[in-house]
Structure 1
Amino acid sequence: MMRRLFPAPLLSLALLALWLVLTNPYSLGNWLMAVVLGIAVPLFTQSLRPTPVRFSHPWVAFKLFMQVGKDVIGSNFRVLYGTLSPGDRMAKGGFVIVPLDLRDPNGLAVLAAIMCVIPGTVWSELALDGSELLVHVFDLKDPDLDIAMIKTRYERPLMEIFE
């Protein structure tokens, strides 16, 4: 019974907390709306989730979260510098093909979010068999270095968390 009402309990708690943070006055109405959202959204979106999430290694997840935050801040400055640079030093973007070892659909979804959150990188295309990822990099100097960075900073921790 409990599993049917709360198919994703962590998502329910996260939605409840997020609603309360976004609607500052903690009135009874806001608490009721938070509870309704925490129950209804996971129930109605259950069919959209490809596989159940097996989340392990929370410390690795925390370190990945901190790494992404650090990379977002650093990339903002690199993109700003590349945008404001004169013509001869202007950033030259390009595409890299990243071979993937990560196969979990939830891990791939998180990787897609990371690639789109970090300024200067965009997840462009995933091969049909899931073996390769096409990423556009704002300032592509060394493709091998960018590929290695994506694999070590993001893919490896995601594999540890989701697989």
Structure 2
Amino acid sequence: MTPWLPYPIVSLSLCALWLLLNQTLDPANLLFGVALGIAVPLLSRRLQPFGYPRLRAPLVFLRLMGMALVEIVHSCFNVSRIILLRDYKTVNAQFIRVPLTIRDPYGLAMLSCLINMTPGTVWVEILPEHHELSLHVFDLHDQQWWIDTIKGRYEAPLIQIFESENDHANPA
């Protein structure tokens, strides 16, 4: 990590993406890709007030993304079946509260993205007084199942990925 290359992986990815989009390795595009890879991270550094996130467990991250993909596809079919085949009067749409342990802003942002990408659920807000997530569920049957699922399938891996052991030893 140098002052000119603060995030080398991001720089390399931007350069590679530029070359892939242009489908050429000619010198002009190669030079522009390198310039893009250097300039964008330098110019966007102030947009990341906490710095770029550090993935503490990349294998857990990959497993979480795979599980989330399966869950999203499964939910698409379930929500489609409910919309197309069930009487709307039998749908039990409700708000629930899920107590959260995770405090890392990047972990919370990823949890929000995962929940909102899953059809049938919408992240409404974080209730600051108890650090709870307010969640809308399209067809709620078992509130405790939803709480256990969010805390076990999503929050626990995100804590492993984004937070260190010391973050939970001394809660603020």
The aligned residue for residue 10 of structure 2 is 11
Q: CA deviation at 1:113?
A: 1.4
Provide the rounded CA distance (Å) in 2 between the counterparts of 1:137 and 1:8.
38
The aligned residue for residue 148 of structure 1 is 148
The alignment partner of 2:3 has SS state of helix
The aligned residue for residue 43 of structure 1 is 42
- Over the aligned positions, Cα root-mean-square deviation in angstroms equals 2.3
**Structure 1's 71 and 15: CA in aligned 2 closer, same or farther, altered over 3 A?**
farther
Letter of the 2:54 partner, please give it: R
**Structure 1's 17 and 27: CA in aligned 2 closer, same or farther, altered over 3 A?**
closer
1:137 correspondence with 2:137: yes
The alignment partner of 1:101 has SS state of coil
**Structure 1's 45 and 91: CA in aligned 2 closer, same or farther, altered over 3 A?**
farther
**Structure 1's 83 and 35: CA in aligned 2 closer, same or farther, altered over 3 A?**
farther
Letter of the 1:26 partner, please give it: T
Q: CA deviation at 1:126?
A: 1.7
Q: Percent identity over the alignment?
A: 42
Instruction: In structure 2, list runs of 5 or more residues that go unmatched.
Output: 164-172
Number of aligned residue pairs: 161
TM-score normalised per structure 1: 0.84
Higher-Rg structure is 2
Q: Which is further off, 119-128 or 11-20?
A: 11-20
The aligned residue for residue 108 of structure 1 is 108
Instruction: In structure 1, list runs of 5 or more residues that go unmatched.
Output: none
1:80 correspondence with 2:80: yes
Aligned mate of 2:23, from 22, 25, 29: 25
Letter of the 2:8 partner, please give it: P
**Structure 1's 94 and 54: CA in aligned 2 closer, same or farther, altered over 3 A?**
same
Provide the rounded CA distance (Å) in 2 between the counterparts of 1:130 and 1:7.
37
Letter of the 1:5 partner, please give it: W
- Contact 2:19–2:25 at 8 Å: present in 1 too? no
**Structure 1's 56 and 130: CA in aligned 2 closer, same or farther, altered over 3 A?**
farther
1:97 correspondence with 2:97: yes
- Contact 1:82–1:90 at 8 Å: present in 2 too? no
Moved over 6 A (4+): none
Letter of the 2:7 partner, please give it: A
- Contact 2:15–2:36 at 8 Å: present in 1 too? yes
